[in-house]
Structure 1
Amino acid sequence: MARFSGKVVLISGGARGQGAAEARQIVAEGGRVVLGDVLEAEGQALAAELGAAARFLRQDVTRAEDWAAAVALAEREFGGLHGLVNNAGIYRPLPLMQTDAAHWERHFEVNQLGCFLGMQAVVPVMERGGGGSIVNISSTAGLRGSPNAIAYSSTKWALRGMTKAAAVDLAPKQIRVNSVHPGPIDTEMVKVWSNEQRTKRLSQIPLGRMGTAEDVARVVLFLLSDEAAYVTGAEIAVDGGASL
């Protein structure tokens, strides 16, 4: 039997990059996905590619009502919800002294508040279904200091703590919560780097290459699956050794 047969997973920021890679792999293994994103054209195109096993809705993760709509869509179209990937996030690098309150608050709203609202939104339906799995996408910037990224790093460190607190709170409901910490992954998010910055980051990776969205997706799928049934509150770096 396919690993995700009968399972439904909600992926925020699911229109492209890591979220899209996760969606493709889940559907390939028999699952169904609800894709939430503000990138409507890309999200609709991915849902069309994946066919009957996928639904897309426009989702602003900073709005509780958008989370409620995503959960309702999963229940209405697929009959329940078994997994959540809090994948949506922004990365707009600035050093400490160039970061103003608005820049800080925007990172907080998308990266941290969005994750909090997502976890709250899915718990009732997961509990009714007998449990589930939540995967919060943090970063190696949540494991170590990261240059020129005070706002981003703060939110990713916060996700690390939120994951552990939620894992304790939700264990009696049979809902597992884990965090994944990607390093430099070759997606749209890192196109803000100059060639010099990219070369420097590559030189710091023991495995000698940038990661791919598929590298991250494979770890996320493990944590969503029953293969990780005794794993909760864990943090897994997917970074080629960059955080060593």
Structure 2
Amino acid sequence: MANATNGRNIAIVTGSALGLGYELTRGLIERGWLVAGIDFNAERQSELSAELSSEQYRAFVGDVSDEAFVKDSVAKIAALGHIDLLINNAGQPSFKVPAAYEGADIDRCLKGLKGMMLWSVAVLRADHESDLKIANVMSTAATRGNANESVYCAAKWGEKGYTQSLKAAYKGTSVKIVGVYPGGIDTAFYRDSHDYVSEAKQHTFMNAGELADVVLFNLLSEANLTVSDILIERNYV
């Protein structure tokens, strides 16, 4: 991968402010990367900007599914140098019984799918479709149907289809596509769904920092190979 500003590689992480996105961001920075973090949480982005230097972190505040925001942000990031890695991590949950879903739930879940497409296209164009790794963080919900996650699963299955299509399109090129499928993570992702996932059960889920380390170990390997799918399940207790 090419060197970025002051010898640092450049990565874009969507949903970078909290949870797994933050842990991925932190891990990349610890490994010497410059991270362009994308998130709608302005307060948290301000905290991170104050905590980290501009050579470690550049904060962008906006909706990952807003095409104008995506294009403007990628243009600013590309001006810093070649973008080496895009991690599409942003997404929003919606856990309900099938008959309880409404249009707003569908729109919320589909933001992640739309964002994944928009960021991928914009970065591919900026990098002239070369020397780039795109990691799409989805969920084990993209591999099976879950009773109280019908709309969420539909969005994740769409993300998996997009990921597989990118793999086919760029097979044999310097663009590498990786699908990441983590199981339950102990973060605030489930905070509004404790009727579905109790706090006691949630705390048996995977640690976000440990999960990020596993993902980055595979993504950043210097070996002459690509781990194209990363399926990570928690240890059941």
Q: Same fold (TM over 0.5)?
A: yes
Q: CA RMSD in A?
A: 2.5
In the alignment, the residues of structure 2 paired with residue 95 and residue 196 of structure 1 have an alpha-carbon distance, to the nearest angstrom, of 9
Tell me which protein shows more helix as a share of its residues: 1
Distance 1:117 1:32, change over 3 A: same
Distance 1:17 1:70, change over 3 A: same
In the alignment, the residues of structure 2 paired with residue 36 and residue 222 of structure 1 have an alpha-carbon distance, to the nearest angstrom, of 22
Q: Could you tell me which of 90, 93, 102 is aligned with 2:92?
A: 90
TM superposition score normalised by structure 1: 0.85
Cα deviations across residues 164-208 of structure 1 (Å, max 9, x unaligned)? 110121235411111111111011102223277337856xxxxx9
1:205 is matched with none
1:58 is matched with 61
The alignment-based identity, stated in percent, is 25
1:103 is matched with 105
Matches within 5 A, 1:89-238: 89-108=91-110, 110-127=111-128, 130-194=130-194, 197-198=197-198, 201=201, 209-227=204-222, 229-231=224-226, 234-238=228-232
* Contact kept in structure 1, 2:95 and 2:196, CA below 8 Å: no
Distance 1:123 1:223, change over 3 A: farther
* Contact kept in structure 2, 1:83 and 1:224, CA below 8 Å: no
In the alignment, the residues of structure 2 paired with residue 147 and residue 153 of structure 1 have an alpha-carbon distance, to the nearest angstrom, of 9
Gaps of 5+ in 2: none
* Contact kept in structure 2, 1:186 and 1:211, CA below 8 Å: yes
Gaps of 5+ in 1: 203-207
Alpha-carbon offset, residue 29 of structure 1: 0.6
* Contact kept in structure 1, 2:37 and 2:60, CA below 8 Å: yes
In the alignment, the residues of structure 1 paired with residue 174 and residue 205 of structure 2 have an alpha-carbon distance, to the nearest angstrom, of 35
Matched, 1:74 2:74: no
Distance 1:51 1:160, change over 3 A: same
